[in-house]
Chains A and B, each alone.
Chain A
């Protein structure tokens, strides 16, 4: 009897957590995020490369690449992005967040996300 009671109690605790299940995604939950942030016209040459030049290529250049990662040309950026390393570093997921001085703005990270989702075009 005691065993039954306690097992029911345990299961109900976990059910309580499962009941709080949501099916959210950030695009749908925060549609206003894009205000003042150009998310429609994201290109490599116009958006991604300038952010990299301003924030990343001081260390990640071809002459002395920190961590062996080069972000000065399209093919290298594309390789780092497709491996998942780029977004992990920008969001600090499992690796130290980049840039070390402080993360990029939410808008910039969103632009990287969009560019990667669009298939990382060289445009």
Chain B
């Protein structure tokens, strides 16, 4: 009787071991050795004013229309700023999985701009674990507004400014993504010798997903050069708003203390102040068109 019980127990243990093997097989099947790249860290290629880690896929064209209205404290006569508007139009295109380029024109100082965004690292899990995504953005802007003094010798180079940024982002969970953006801005010509030609700033942005289509975004740039040295008092840009996705379009509606929509302007020339109502309502509309269809869906 005892022997019978022992052999029964033994067979159970063996079965259990076989069952464990089966379980391991199932786990192996369900976790293939592929790399799982994180997608949709942000909804759009901008957090609000500044670039996000997101980029256009190869063959996709993003048409962007952005507005910043006047300040809320400008009163009822100017309809709290809505009578004025600053616009920026942009065409941005994905060339390869790791490179997108864009051109734009804004009426703020009648500026033409162009940028390239290089995707260096992509957050992933699975066979390759990468905790963050990292991109590099370089851009150049040409101010085409005429110089007030036409009698002096004005140089073409005086109209140029340049920006370099490193974007480091992490999608912490399905609802929360964060990004840090060390930035460098160079202006070829500044008004006085007190103004720095080089500006260093650290940007921080975050996105909280509220529902399938809506997310809350915030963005702040800390400008390291002391603003009191400037001939004009400038402030750090702070922006808060919502991303709303409606099949094919992304609407970004927000409040910001900056009128500039390119890095050179919102990092270096933000004169609005949140505490006295120097805030602008603004929006970005993004519409993505697929110009080149790829047979194999890119691993995004």
Q: Determine if B148 and A91 form an interchain contact, defined as CB atoms under 8 angstroms apart.
A: yes
Does B84 contact A82, Cβ atoms closer than 8 Å? no
Contact A113:B231 (CB < 8 A) given known A26-B191, A67-B77: yes
Question: When the two chains form their complex, are residues A67 and B74 in contact, meaning their CB atoms are under 8 A apart?
Answer: yes
Task: Determine if B271 and A85 form an interchain contact, defined as CB atoms under 8 angstroms apart.
Answer: yes
Instruction: For chain A, residues 84 to 103, give those with C-beta under 8 angstroms from any C-beta of chain B.
Output: 84-85, 87-88, 91-96, 103
Q: Hey, which chain B residues are within 8 Å of A103, CB to CB?
A: 148
Contact: A106 with B189, CB < 8 Å? no
Known: A27-B193, A67-B78. A14 touches B116 (CB 8 A): yes
In the bound assembly, the distance between CA atoms of A117 and B230 in angstroms comes to: 8
**Contacting pair B269 A93 (CB below 8 A):** yes
Q: Residue of B at shortest CB range from A103?
A: B148
Proximity string of chain B (175-201) to chain A, C-beta cutoff 8 Å, 1 when within and 0 when not: 000000000001011111111010000
Do B74 and A27 touch (CB < 8 A)?
Answer: no
Is B70 interfacial (CB 8 A cutoff)? yes
Docked Cα-Cα span, A68 to B55, in Å, equals 43
Please count how many residues in chain B sit with their CB below 8 Å of the partner chain's CB atoms.
47
A10, CB-defined interface residue at 8 Å: yes
Which of A16-24, A41-49, A50-58, A70-78 sits within the interface?
A16-24
Chain B residue at minimal CB-CB distance from A20: B157
Asked whether, in the complex, the Cβ of B232 is within 8 Å of the Cβ of A66, the reply is no
Task: From known contacts A95-B84, A106-B149, infer whether A24 and B99 are also in contact, taking CB-CB under 8 Å.
Answer: no
Check: B233 CB closer than 8 A to any chain A CB: yes
- B197 A83 Cβ-Cβ under 8 A: no
Chain A residues within an 8 Å CB radius of B109 = 93
A117, B193: Cα distance in complex, Å: 11
Question: Is the beta-carbon distance between B149 and A33 smaller than 8 angstroms?
Answer: yes
Q: At the interface, yes or no: B124 with Cβ under 8 Å from chain A?
A: no
Q: Is B37 an interface residue (CB 8 A)?
A: no
Closest to A69 in B: B74
- B223 located at the interface, meaning its Cβ lies under 8 Å from any Cβ of chain A in the complex: no
Chain B residues with Cβ below 8 Å from A23 are 188, 197
Chain B residue numbers with a CB within 8 Å of A83 are: 233, 271, 273, 276, 278
Contact B231 A117 (CB under 8 A): yes
In the bound complex, CA of A21 to CA of B160 (Å): 8
CA distance A17 to B116 in the complex (A): 13
Separation of A106 and B197 alpha carbons in the complex (Å):
22
Per the bound structure, the CA–CA distance linking A109 and B147 in Å amounts to 13
14 residue pairs from A and B, CB less than 8 Å apart: A14-B140, A17-B140, A20-B188, A22-B155, A22-B197, A24-B158, A24-B188, A67-B78, A68-B73, A84-B232, A88-B271, A93-B108, A95-B70, A95-B84
A-B residue pairs, 9 tightest by C-beta: A84-B271, A94-B259, A22-B188, A106-B149, A68-B75, A17-B140, A24-B189, A23-B197, A14-B138
